[in-house]
């Protein structure tokens, strides 16, 4: 029964089952999984590299391109979920905690309209 299973826990279970069935957990030490994540981020970057910044949303609104971008993003998520599982990190909880901390760190009234890291 997975009625109450949350979505990232479900993905974690699916990713773990996929690896276990193939005896691939042996490859999933953290540094290797991060390199795999980097590989997928690279494929995502390649999709967008030569598209003009102003055209990127329109270009990827075309269904087959959106699907392609979705696949690369899926790969990034899958390796991120895999890494979290290997390290015992609760990824969803970590993201919610980070967002809560960012609400405090970047007070809306102080930073409105200005990117904090802009040179």
Tell me: does residue 3 bind a second copy (CB under 8 A). Answer: no
Alpha-carbon dihedral angle through residues 113, 117, 38, 16, given to the nearest 10 degrees: -60
> CB 1 → a second copy: shortest distance, Å?
17
For a second copy, the binding residues in 24-63 under the rule CB under 8 A are: 24, 26-27, 29-32, 34-54, 56-57, 59-61
Among 1, 4, 21, 104, binds a second copy (CB under 8 A): 21
Q: How far apart are CA 32 and CA 38, in angstroms?
A: 10
Q: Which residue has the tokens 């980097």?
A: 38
Contact between 102 and a second copy (CB under 8 A)?
A: yes
Query: In this structure, what token pair is assigned to residue 46?
Result: 């390649």
């Amino acid at each position: 029964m997975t009625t109450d299973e949350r979505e990232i826990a479900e993905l974690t279970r699916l990713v773990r089952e996929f690896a276990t069935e193939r005896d691939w957990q042996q490859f999933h030490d953290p540094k290797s999984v991060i390199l795999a994540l980097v590989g997928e981020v690279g494929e995502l970057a390649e999709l967008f590299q030569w598209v003009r910044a102003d055209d990127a949303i329109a270009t990827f609104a075309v269904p087959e391109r959106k699907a392609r971008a979705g696949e690369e993003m899926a790969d990034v998520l899958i390796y991120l979920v895999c890494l979290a599982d290997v390290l015992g990190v609760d990824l969803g909880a970590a993201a919610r905690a980070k967002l809560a901390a960012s609400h405090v760190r970047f007070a809306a009234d102080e930073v409105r309209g200005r990117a904090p890291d802009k040179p």
